[in-house]
Amino acid sequence: MMRAFQLAQQRHLDISPDLAELFTRRLRAVTRTYQYAKRPREMFKGILEKKGEVGRTLRMMHRTDFLGRYIPEFGGLTCLVQHEFFHRYTADEHTLVCIEKLDALRETANPKLMPYRTLLDELAEPLVLYLALLLHDTGKAVGARPHSEASALFAQRVAARLQLSSEQRKSLILLVDHHLTLSNIAQQRNLDDPETAIEFAKIVKDQKNLNALMLLTLADGQGTSADAWSDWKESLVWHLYHEASRYLADQKTFYEETRIHREALTHALRTTLSNEYSD
């Protein structure tokens, strides 16, 4: 069954109605033993490694209910209505749309999206990012608030079944647990305060995670609704991204540039304001 989906991805084919019906009738074969089996595991990871070609394949899996049987953590999102202002889709559809938005970056010619395309092209392990997108809202299936914490626990469980490496597991759990952090900090905190960038950089830990989180944030925003990802929000997110990148690249230089900038501001204020404001 997994091999059929892998072939459909590799050769840009669709699953025929007869084969889809056969899969649906044989879903009982997707047992706990199957979920831990090596060959399906390696094929599924291979499917998630194909940048730009993942969403269509996962949607085929979902149509036959195979995806929810193989990754039951995602299966709990099927037809789950999200009672939130911005969400246009059920939780399972939102997840698939997010993955398709990420896929679309691979071929985009939109100048506004080219920086994201560059990040995706440079991404060394697309498996982790695609898996994070697949699992980022799974906590909603159990009604958890905040759902990100429960989603991270589900991600840990899936990572163990798929036998991800230690580094892959850490990145996956970080991305799922903090899939809202970049957007929230960018909109709710003072971005002119260097401490904001420092605090966020310490959360993401390295540039690789930061790049992946930037792509996840875009896909999550675009996959929510047309109104959920605005130019204003995007500018804030990029500002925080660049400041965190500076800190991760060279902490000593970041602190020195911050000190120089503040001294320049202080000097400018002293020369502009009257003496009564000297204190």
Encode pLDDT of 82-132 as tens digits.
Answer: 666 566 778 899 999 999 999 999 999 999 999 999 999 999 999 999 999
Query: With bands split at pLDDT 50, 70 and 90, how would you rate the model's confidence at 79?
Result: confident
Whole-number pLDDT of residue 85? 55
Give per-residue pLDDT as tens, 172-204: 999 999 999 999 999 999 999 999 999 999 999
Tokens at 36, concatenated: 């831990």
What is the reported pTM?
Answer: 0.92
CB 193 within 8 A of CB 228: no
Average pLDDT over residues 215-230: 86
Q: State how far the Cα of 55 lies from the Cα of 58, in Å rounded to an integer.
A: 5
DSSP string, 225-249: -TTSS-HHHHHHHHHHHHHHHHHHH
The CA distance from 63 to 4, in Å, is 14
